[in-house]
Amino acid sequence: MTNWYWIRHGPTHLKSLVGWSDVDVDLSNVNRLKKLDDYLPNDSLIISSDLKRTIKTATEIQNMRERLPNNKNLREFNFGEWELKKSSEIAAKYPKLSKDYWSSPGDTAPPNGESWNQAAKRINAEVDNINERYKGKNIIAVGHFGVILTQLQRAAKIQPQSAISFQIDNLSITHLEHLGDKNWRILSVNNIF
């Protein structure tokens, strides 16, 4: 069994779609970060995407845990031309595409961006690589909203439109177990301390 503790990075306070933009993070809630650190197993490996909002969050809870290299393949979805735009702006400029993207995610992609399926394929391949290299370990992965949803989709064997109904708050833990092959177990979702 490989335990995955997915932590969503701290808040950015932006009210727009933030994918590959390297925006900063608010880590002023030291009490919450301390509770996360206390809850997480000390014998864990810790990894994040290569964006500073996950890197800084991971650093805050790393403590004495072994750090794996920051990983570009664990980035949030690439929103292309929708990056840093508000939902209302996107809906006004791309009414049908925007509706399709959110109501039936899968192969629909923003202009010059990734679809759900493209992002999930990228993320799943990297999670598979990590599972192979660190079989049986505890892994703390500081990630992004969309990344965590793709892993919930995979573990629950549900469609993307069901996965996007989950709430994943900043600094929450989603605990998944990889049991081998394509078998996963969901132990908790959006656990907040």
Domain CATH number, residue 87: 3.40.50.1240
Query: How many Cα atoms occupy the beta-carbon half-sphere of 141 within 13 Å?
Result: 30
- How many residues does the structure list for the chain? 193
pLDDT of residue 193: 85
Residue/partner pairs of 180-185 with CB below 8 Å, 24 or more apart: 180/1, 184/154, 184/155, 184/156, 185/155
Helices 145-156 and 116-133 cross at an angle (nearest 10°) of 80
Average pLDDT by stretches of 10, the chain with 193 residues: 97 97 97 96 98 98 97 98 97 96 94 98 98 97 98 97 96 97 96 92
Tally of domains within the chain: 1
For residues 127 and 150, the answer to whether their CB atoms sit within 8 Å is no
Between the two ends of the chain, the Cα-to-Cα distance in Å is 25
pTM more than 0.85? yes
Range of the domain at 158: 2-191
For residues 160 and 154, the answer to whether their CB atoms sit within 8 Å is no
The torsion of the CA quartet 156, 161, 166, 168, rounded to 10 degrees, works out to 100
pLDDT of residue 58: 98
For residues 50 and 75, the answer to whether their CB atoms sit within 8 Å is yes
